[in-house]
Amino acid sequence: MKKFVALTTMGALLAGTALADPVEVKIGYALAENSHYGAGSKKWIEVTEGLVGDRFDFVEFPASALGGEREVIEGLQLGTVEATIVSSGVLSNFVPEVGVFDIPFLFRDFEHARSVLDGPIGQEMLAKFEDQGLIALAWGEQGFRHITNNRAPINAPADLAGLKLRTMENPVHILAFQTLGAAPTPMAWPEVVSALEQGTIDGQENPLSVIVSSKLNEVQKNLTLTGHVYAPNVFFVSQIFWEGLTDEEKEAFRKGAVEGGLAMRAFVDNAEATGAKAMEDAGMAVNTLSVEQKEVIKEALAPAYADYAETFGAELIQQISDAK
Of 9 and 206, nearer to ligand PAF (C-beta) is: 206
Residue 92 interacts with ligand PAF (CB under 6 A): yes or no:
no
Alpha helices (H) in 32-119, listed in sequence order: 36-52, 69-78, 110-118
**Residue 138 touches ligand PAF, criterion: CB under 6 A:** no
Name which of 23 and 231 has its Cβ closer to ligand PAF.
231
Looking at the Cβ atoms of 244 and 275, the one nearer to ligand PAF is 275
Tell me the DSSP string of 245-278: S-HHHHHHHHHHHHHHHHHHHHHHHHHHHHHHHH
Q: How many positions of this chain bind ligand PAF (CB under 6 A)?
A: 10
Cβ contact 214:190 at 8 Å: no
The residues in 244-303 that bind ligand PAF, with binding defined as CB under 6 A, are none
Q: Which of residues 162-191 bind ligand PAF (CB under 6 A)?
A: 168, 189
Report in angstroms how near the CB of residue 78 gets to ligand PAF at its nearest: 21
Strands 56-61, 203-206: parallel, antiparallel or unpaired by DSSP? unpaired
The CA-based diameter of the chain, rounded to the nearest angstrom, is 68
Name the DSSP letter for residue 91: G
Give the Cα separation of 80 and 83 in Å (integer).
Answer: 10
The verdict on 30 binding ligand PAF (CB under 6 A) reads yes
**Least distance in angstroms from the C-beta of 93 to ligand PAF:** 13
Site for ligand PAF contains 89 (CB under 6 A): yes
Cα–Cα distance between 234 and 142 in angstroms, integer? 10
| Sole binder of ligand PAF in the list 206, 213, 217, 220 (CB under 6 A) | 206
Q: Is 148 an interacting residue with respect to ligand PAF (CB under 6 A)?
A: no
* Residue nearer to ligand PAF on the CB measure, 40 or 89: 89
Contact 19, 55 (CB under 8 A): yes
Cβ proximity to ligand PAF: between 48 and 206 the closer is 206
In the complex, the smallest distance separating the C-beta of residue 317 from ligand PAF, rounded to whole angstroms, is: 23
210 binds ligand PAF (CB under 6 A): yes
Q: How far is CA 122 from CA 99, 125, 129, 248, in A?
A: 12, 5, 12, 24
What sign for the dihedral angle of Cα 19, 39, 111, 230? negative
Q: Nearest to ligand PAF by Cβ — which residue?
A: 87
Binding site for ligand PAF (CB under 6 A): 30-31, 87, 89, 142, 168, 189, 206, 210, 231
